[in-house]
Amino acid sequence: MFQLSVHHTQFPPVDWASEEGILAFGGDLSIERLEQAYHLGIFPWYELDEPILWWAPPRRMVVDIQQYYPSKTLRNLWRKQEFTLTFNAQFEQVIRNCQKAVRPGQYGTWITEDIIKAYTIWHQQGRAKSVECWQNGQLVGGLYGIDLEGVFCGESMFSAVSNASKFAFLGLIEHLRKSNYVLLDCQVHNPYLEQLGAFEISRENFLKLLKAAAHSVPSGM
């Protein structure tokens, strides 16, 4: 595994990643390094007692935004409009709720205070974005991610009431479609994302789509 230096932000080629997808460790969470990482299809994912681990998985979970068609259940959820959505209104509150979310089979959280600090700064610079889901004036769900202008890299979501995160997900897809985005990057497989309509593609295909999206002209989120 390649060790990154805190003195420069270069990453090794992504095909150096291990079979499970770990490319490198170390470095820091500077905005410069994060910018380079995400544009190369690399992201940090580690637990509190670990060094920073940088991933470039061999399989990538994605949603084709322009071709996405939700299930009947999700269409009905969207049609009912039981929630309201805002964008980029409560970023830090969303990421902290994601940090506290209890997930089956997960002990602890990878959303450390260092992650929160770095991504909040990134949000202030316009790169990290959030979707907030409200019910009766209360924040009941949401998600956040990285806006690469053509590709949106989803990081995490939370739901305090049933279906709130699904509604936020659908709202994000609709917003990105209208803004001419091509891909929602969900990073790694999990059954919940598959239920929502995400699917896996190879790292090679993902990087091709990421590169192609850089030449598209989305209207921005």
Looking at the structure, do residues 72 and 47 belong to the same domain, yes or no?
A: no
Q: In sequence order, which ranges of the chain are alpha helices (DSSP H)?
A: 31-39, 72-80, 91-100, 113-124, 164-178, 191-196, 203-213
Strand order in 128-135's β-sheet?
84-87, 128-135, 138-147, 151-159, 183-187, 59-64, 199-202
Q: Are 145 and 153 in contact (CB under 8 A)?
A: yes
The span from the CA of 191 to the CA of 198, in Å, is 9
User: Which residue positions in the chain have pLDDT lower than 50?
Assistant: 107-108
Give the H or E element holding residue 199: strand 199-202
The domain in which residue 158 lies consists of: 61-215
Is there a domain that residue 220 lies in?
Answer: no
Looking at the structure, do residues 48 and 68 belong to the same domain, yes or no?
A: no
Q: In this predicted model, what pLDDT tens digit does every residue of 138-179 receive, in sequence order?
A: 999 999 999 998 999 999 999 999 999 999 999 999 999 999
pLDDT for 107: 46
Looking at the structure, do residues 95 and 119 belong to the same domain, yes or no?
A: yes
pLDDT for 219: 60
